Amino acid sequence: MEKKELINGGKVKSVFTTDNEDQVIIEFRDDMTAGDGERKEVMNNKGAYNAVISTKIFRVLEENGVETQLIDLPQPNVMLAKKLEMIPIEVIVRNIATGSLVRKYPIADGTKLEPPIVQMDFKADEYHDPMLNDSIIKALGIATQEEIDILTEKALKINEVLTEFFADAGIILVDFKVEFGKDKDGNILLGDEISPDGCRLWDSETLDMLDKELFRKGKDNEVMDAYVEVYNRIIPDDEKVI
């Protein structure tokens, strides 16, 4: 397996082609960004922690019937994955109101959301990821109604599985963002990553934040300890590679 051409240099990951044209190599870098990439710092081993956490989560989801792009984790910060044509939608699921929801709408921080909110944002930094609705998605030609329904159903299934998975580790899954893509046969698979970069995770007892929100709030010296805490709680000792 060899890295060939860089096809997507994202804010925190680099995607390369490889010998097999149906596969890609995703390198998780040590960069941490906030504010559409306006602030960027390098955090030691952050790429590896996110790749291992994301791989564990993708395996748990696969065991529960959610297909993902994951094939293997040949190195702690390098994922071998099925090549997908990514759909430019950030599907966000919220179990507790916080973040941009409470900034934009009259709802109190910490309100339980039952049923959870499923929100779709346009993945486009230059437009600051604006919120979409079904008509806008169809007008932009991003997805069909059938695909929107599949994304919603898969996001809610992921929420169900991961809420329980994190609860077993003493963590509340407050909200998260997922991205999907189509494989060569047109199947919609979960892609990208699920890690503390794109989830709000709170300690069940103390409600301490265990995710990138610490970095967004300028607590740069606390954020990696939180990622390591999540890693230690969800990765069994015999699967630890960092």
Q: How far is the CB of 19 from ligand 5GP (least distance, A)?
A: 30
Stretches 24-32, 49-57, 155-163, 173-181: which one binds ligand 5GP (CB under 6 A)? 173-181
Tell me the CA distances in angstroms from 78 to 46, 62, 75, 226, one per residue in order.
Answer: 12, 19, 5, 21
Listed in sequence order, the residues at least 6 apart from 42 whose beta carbon sits closer than 8 Å to its beta carbon are: 30, 31, 32
Stretches 71-79, 97-105, 157-165, 202-210: which one binds ligand 5GP (CB under 6 A)? 97-105
**Among residues 24 and 101, whose Cβ is nearest to ligand 5GP?**
101
Q: What are phi and psi of 60, to 5 degrees?
A: -60, -40
Within a 10 A sphere around the Cβ of 109, how many other Cβ atoms? 11
Stretches 148-156, 198-206, 221-229, 231-239: which one binds ligand 5GP (CB under 6 A)? 198-206
Cβ-closest position to ligand 5GP: 99
Residues 48 and 242: their CA atoms lie apart, in Å, by 7
Q: What are phi and psi of 63, to 5 degrees?
A: -60, -25
Residues 50 and 242: their CA atoms lie apart, in Å, by 11
In a 13 Å sphere around the CA of 58, the CA atoms on its Cβ side amount to 27
Residues 84 and 63: their CA atoms lie apart, in Å, by 20
**Among residues 90 and 147, whose Cβ is nearest to ligand 5GP?**
90
Residues 17 and 58: their CA atoms lie apart, in Å, by 21
Hey, which residues between 35 and 94 contact ligand 5GP (CB under 6 A)?
90, 92
Contacting residue, 73, 161, 199, 235, with ligand 5GP by CB under 6 A? 199
* Pairing outcome for strands 23-28 and 78-82: antiparallel
**Per CB under 6 A, 179 contacts ligand 5GP:** no
**Per CB under 6 A, 198 contacts ligand 5GP:** yes
Q: How far is the CB of 20 from ligand 5GP (least distance, A)?
A: 28
Within a 10 A sphere around the Cβ of 157, how many other Cβ atoms? 15
Count of residues engaged in binding ligand 5GP, rule: CB under 6 A? 13
Contacting residue, 176, 180, 202, 215, with ligand 5GP by CB under 6 A? 176
**Per CB under 6 A, 197 contacts ligand 5GP:** yes
Q: How far is the CB of 99 from ligand 5GP (least distance, A)?
A: 2
Q: Which residues contribute to the site for ligand 5GP (CB under 6 A)?
A: 90, 92, 99-101, 129, 175-177, 197-200
